[in-house]
């Protein structure tokens, strides 16, 4: 019998044994079944279930390299970061994240609530499903997590202590490389460009010196602005949904960075869903109905976030300087500027870089995929260049529609 006193990379059977020995979660006579369910870029995820009772748990273990590529050497401490972030989020936004039960620093693994009654949002958007409560849920999540763990609300010394716990250099380096750098120059030759789009990307992205300058500015903002405890990888593949429920998962990239990073990722991934629907749905009535819902969702996400953020600001801000007249408007303006810029970055990196999205790669027709990719890239450039003036969701939609007509 394994005692789990030293680290090794588990398989599904090991995870089941771990649940018996380490978790005290199942009864001694439990009849366990185990399945590896993770297909992400970084970790190993197992579902352990008692056949007798249906009781289940998910165990997530971190390896010393990323699953997407052995080139990425990543600290397994990321699971400790995820565990602590989820514990904090369960206090700030109960019901919007999975419960966490246990963390083991030797095995670099955590145990959490099984969300098998939910589905990955990206997959459902690619099937053109509608989630009427998503905008309300995600805006609540972002407003609470991004404002309530910031210098505007909590004691500065306490905030700095939390910053220290969430120093996350390995995963920040992945973001700095894969989001801010490589999609715009392919320095490490890791980009995954769709061959028919190669000339367009070389001309419109790699060769655009003004664009490169703006991405450099944003990269340094990302590295230097310890504004909020961000999720750091908030996209539709990190969200589980049902029609009436939303669960945000996988905050292993969490660190203190610009709040707009999380919001921009959500907007960009809704635009990916829009591009997929616009280019693949044959029935005109169904296409218009679905893209209209996505547009309304983008509007609601941003408007609800701003409204909830303003209310929280009035109720919870404790830093005296933050109460000066006009400061709230300036602070929110910075967030919205960063949101627009990150929307553009995410649209570029998921088209050009190594970590791409099913919304685009699943488009079978070369002609339709080219149209979707260029729609996203044209939208991206305008979001980056015009980020200082994009303050409303309608501006995003105007840009997307403009790009769709090019």
Distance CA 358, CA 373 (A): 12
- Place 69 in a pLDDT band, splitting at 50, 70 and 90: low
pLDDT one-digit tens code per residue, 234-258: 999 999 999 999 999 999 999 999 9
- Place 66 in a pLDDT band, splitting at 50, 70 and 90: low
Q: Are 125 and 273 in contact (CB under 8 A)?
A: yes
- Place 1 in a pLDDT band, splitting at 50, 70 and 90: low
- Place 28 in a pLDDT band, splitting at 50, 70 and 90: confident
Question: For 348-352, what is the mean pLDDT?
Answer: 98
Distance CA 338, CA 14 (A): 43
Question: For 95-122, what is the mean pLDDT?
Answer: 96
The candidate with the shortest Cα–Cα distance to 93, out of 56, 33, 145, is 145
Question: For 84-92, what is the mean pLDDT?
Answer: 97
Taking the model in full, what pTM does it have?
0.95
The candidate with the shortest Cα–Cα distance to 262, out of 314, 305, 214, is 305
Q: Are 308 and 143 in contact (CB under 8 A)?
A: yes
- Place 363 in a pLDDT band, splitting at 50, 70 and 90: very high
Q: Are 276 and 127 in contact (CB under 8 A)?
A: no
pLDDT one-digit tens code per residue, 153-211: 999 999 999 999 999 999 999 999 999 999 999 888 899 999 999 999 999 999 999 99
Residue 341 has pLDDT above 90, yes or no: yes
The candidate with the shortest Cα–Cα distance to 69, out of 44, 42, 36, is 42
DSSP 73: B
DSSP 230: E
Note the Cα 65 to chain centre separation in Å.
20
Q: Are 145 and 89 in contact (CB under 8 A)?
A: yes
Distance CA 42, CA 66 (A): 4
Q: What is the mean pLDDT of the chain?
A: 95
Domains with residue ranges and CATH for the chain: 12-112 (3.30.200.20), 119-405 (3.90.1200.10)
Residue 41 has pLDDT above 90, yes or no: no
Q: Are 241 and 220 in contact (CB under 8 A)?
A: no
Between residues 293 and 44, the one the model is more confident about: 293
Distance CA 77, CA 120 (A): 25
Beta bridge partners of 255: 230
pLDDT one-digit tens code per residue, 373-394: 999 999 999 999 999 999 999 9
Supply the pLDDT for residue 40: 59
Degrees, nearest 5: CA angle 394-221-391: 15
DSSP 125: H
Q: Are 401 and 350 in contact (CB under 8 A)?
A: no
Q: Are 111 and 25 in contact (CB under 8 A)?
A: yes
């Amino acid at each position: 019998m394994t005692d789990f006193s030293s680290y090794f990379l588990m398989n599904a059977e090991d995870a089941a044994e771990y649940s018996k020995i380490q978790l005290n979660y199942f009864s001694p006579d439990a009849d366990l079944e185990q399945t590896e369910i993770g297909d992400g870029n970084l970790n190993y995820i197992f579902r352990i279930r008692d056949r007798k009772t249906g009781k289940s748990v998910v165990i997530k273990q971190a390896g010393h390299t990323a699953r997407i590529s052995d080139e990425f050497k990543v600290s397994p401490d990321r699971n400790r970061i995820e565990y602590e972030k989820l514990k904090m989020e369960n206090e700030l936004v109960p019901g919007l994240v999975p419960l966490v039960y246990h963390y083991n620093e030797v095995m670099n693994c955590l145990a959490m609530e099984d969300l098998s009654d939910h589905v990955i949002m990206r997959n459902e958007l690619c099937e053109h499903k509608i989630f009427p409560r998503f905008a309300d849920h995600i805006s609540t999540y972002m407003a609470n997590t991004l404002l309530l763990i910031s210098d505007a609300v909590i004691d500065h010394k306490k905030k700095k202590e939390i910053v220290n716990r969430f120093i996350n250099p390995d995963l920040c380096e992945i973001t700095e490389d894969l989001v801010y750098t490589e999609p715009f120059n392919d320095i490490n030759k890791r980009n995954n460009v769709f061959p028919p789009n190669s000339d367009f990307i070389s001309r419109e992205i790699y060769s655009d010196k003004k664009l490169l300058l703006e991405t450099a500015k944003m990269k340094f903002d990302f590295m230097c602005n310890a504004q909020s405890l961000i999720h750091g990888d908030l996209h539709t593949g990190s969200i589980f949904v049902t029609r009436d429920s939303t669960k945000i998962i996988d905050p292993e990239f969490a660190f203190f960075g610009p709040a707009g990073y999380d919001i921009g990722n959500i907007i960009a991934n809704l635009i990916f869903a829009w591009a997929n629907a616009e280019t693949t749905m044959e029935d005109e009535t169904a296409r218009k109905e679905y893209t209209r819902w996505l547009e309304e969702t983008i509007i609601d996400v941003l408007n609800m976030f701003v409204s909830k953020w303003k209310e929280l600001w009035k109720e919870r801000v404790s830093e005296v300087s933050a109460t000066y007249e006009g400061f709230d408007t300036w602070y929110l303006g910075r967030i919205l500027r960063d949101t627009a810029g990150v929307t553009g970055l995410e649209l570029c990196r998921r088209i050009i870089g190594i970590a791409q999205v099913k919304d685009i790669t699943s488009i079978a027709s070369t002609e339709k995929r080219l149209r979707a990719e260029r729609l996203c890239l044209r939208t991206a450039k305008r979001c980056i260049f015009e980020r200082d003036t994009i303050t409303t969701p309608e501006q995003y939609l105007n840009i997307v529609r403009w790009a769709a007509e090019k």
